[in-house]
Structure 1
């Protein structure tokens, strides 16, 4: 197995939309959602909205059907499958919830590529109502200021890194919650912020705070090329120390295996 752990955010990273908003809007509850949004934390609001949808007669099956229609760029799916095929350990780290994520990944045949999904817990209760809970049931105490009260992705990433000693991490994300884990990556790691999204803006405010190399991306094709280029970089460096299965490199798309690999994109030139 390659010495690479790839950690993906989910909403607006693997899929092109926010799964919470997608469900609420698709099932006709946007007006109530907008009215309640200023009154409670996001995680609690989504649980409340699942209760409201249930009261309106929407079933878990209805929610699942909507989730299966959430848009995903086929190049993102191709990137995930290629990285998995190259032996990378793939994880999800998301402020969505287990039911939403697993439903979508299963639908696109991607669930088996991931060794772990770190997200807010979910369950269907005895009445058939979907319940959404917080990942951190008690205050997580993160002082960065960009993490929601229910999940500090930085603390989760610390655990992932501690269980993957000797492996290099590639972290992909788009939101404010992805800034804290980006700060915790080491000099041998890589962060892939989505260009033009909140995490990219936060990184650009003070790039010197990050130790990891920064490689921004904009869309599915950009993600695929960048991610596989970084995986290739690690594989090539590993090959200098250990025997490498050349077939793995040959399985990469042509754009990812060309010589003259470009340097990291500087975050100051926006």
Structure 2
């Protein structure tokens, strides 16, 4: 069955150390001078609960949500990443974010760089500013009793979010949409770096792609037990753009070949085109001077 969606894949990005070159939680905590206190909280709380508690303490100390947003505007985002996002979207890709950061941090960064409109959706830990002005961050999957948690047994998944469960839902939606349209499911490309990015990589299938960041934990996990998807690593953000757009272009070309489409080439009838007067004169037979 041919793909009739132009062949452009669905591209799903992790956020921390993939779109931005930092851990956004640590970036904010460090920028607001709360590193030591956050480390103390992490000794007794799961990460997601610790960052929520940290936001509460910062609010009590007079820090506002706007202070947090200002920190995030300075988070490092490579121009190569921004260009890759824009180029992939221009080629017809749908883009999504799947991240264990949180909605407030992600939205602040993407909005600051003018990239928010390029993404069709974000799956991440929910966050909001409450009536008192305090930033609240909640787990994507509730796991404190009596909540059952996400139920994934893979040790690389944190308790608050199994990205594999989210990827399963995304793939199911893709398959249902493809079946309804009578076409082959488009390829899915997933980019990530951390241990939590291994589970969604395993959910991808032959014909999909996983793009792990070289030298980061997900690479070791993939090397030990590779997924069914094709693995295309990247090392640095210029490389990310090159690898991603190479995949996108290859998928588009494959779809064109499957459909038997040949780009139309219009060949003008040169005989009907008037020549410039100077060029026309140069092509006419010239009179030959005959000596008397």
1:45 matched residue in structure 2: 50
- Among 83, 90, 94, which residue is 1:89 paired with? 94
CA–CA distance in structure 1, aligned partners of residues 91 and 262 of structure 2: 10
| Structure 1 pair 224–245 and aligned structure 2 pair: CA distance change class (3 A) | farther
Using structure 2 for the length normalisation, give the TM-score. Answer: 0.81
| In structure 2, C-alpha distance between the alignment counterparts of 1:69 and 1:241, rounded to whole Å | 45
Q: How far did residue 242 of structure 1 move?
A: 3.2
Equivalent runs, 1:148-167 vs 2, <5 Å: 148-165=158-175, 166-167=185-186
In the alignment of these two chains, the number of paired residues is: 245
The two structures have a TM-score, normalised by structure 1, of 0.88
- Residues 2 and 88 in structure 1, CA contact (< 8 A), matched pair in contact too: no
Change (3 A) 1:244 1:198: farther
User: Following TM superposition, where does structure 1 have runs of at least 4 consecutive aligned residues deviating by more than 4 angstroms?
Assistant: 243-246
Q: Secondary structure at the match of 1:96?
A: strand
Measured in 1, the distance between the counterparts of 2:260 and 2:78 equals 34
Residue segments in structure 1 that go unaligned for 5+ positions in a row: 247-270
The C-alpha deviation readout for 1:160-201, integer Å capped at 9, x for no partner, is: 111112111000000000000001100110000000001011
Could you tell me how far 1:2 is from its partner in structure 2? 3.9
Structure 2 partner of 1:14: 19
Q: Which residue of 2 aligns with 1:98?
A: 103
Match for 2:196 among 170, 177, 184?
177
User: Is 2:207 aligned against 1:188?
Assistant: yes
What does 1:1-270 correspond to in 2, within 5 Å? Answer: 1-3=5-7, 4-137=9-142, 138=147, 139-165=149-175, 166-207=185-226, 210-242=227-259
**Displacement after TM superposition at 1:244 (Å):** 6.6
- Partner of 2:211, secondary structure, is strand
The 8 Å contact of residues 12 and 174 in structure 1, kept in 2 or not, is answered as: yes
Structure 2 unaligned spans of 5+: 176-184, 264-292
Counterpart of 2:154 in 1: which secondary structure? Answer: coil
Which structure's CA Rg is the greater one? 2
- CA displacement, residues 215-248 of structure 1 (integer Å, 9 cap, x when unaligned): 11011100000000000110010001337797xx
**Map of 1:266 onto structure 2:** none
